[in-house]
Amino acid sequence: MANHKSAKTRIKRNQRAAEFNASYLSKVRTFIKNVEKAVLGGNKEEAKARFVIAESALSKAAQKGIIKRLAASRKTSRLSARVKNM
């Protein structure tokens, strides 16, 4: 366990950040699943609308460092291809 006050504070802050990151990542995954459901359902307009939301969330997660920039780009690209090929 930490011996200094600053170290104890840092532990608490890291825990809060980890909780936030896990929560946001879960939300991003849900947005991705929503796009995939719309694609499988064959509803192109709904897929496009949900793709915009998912793309925004992925970009924001990459900016905040929740996921890596190239991972966000790859996921966005693959989702985009699936929506376009409907």
Residue-wise pLDDT for 6-43, tens only, equals 999 999 999 999 999 999 999 999 999 999 999 999 99
Place of tokens 């793309």: 55
Residue-wise pLDDT for 50-63, tens only, equals 999 999 999 999 99
11: domain range?
5-84
Q: What is the CATH number of the domain that holds 70?
A: 1.20.58.110
Contact predicate 42/82, CB 8 Å: no
Contact predicate 47/38, CB 8 Å: yes
Q: How many domains does the chain have?
A: 1
User: What is the model's pTM?
Assistant: 0.84
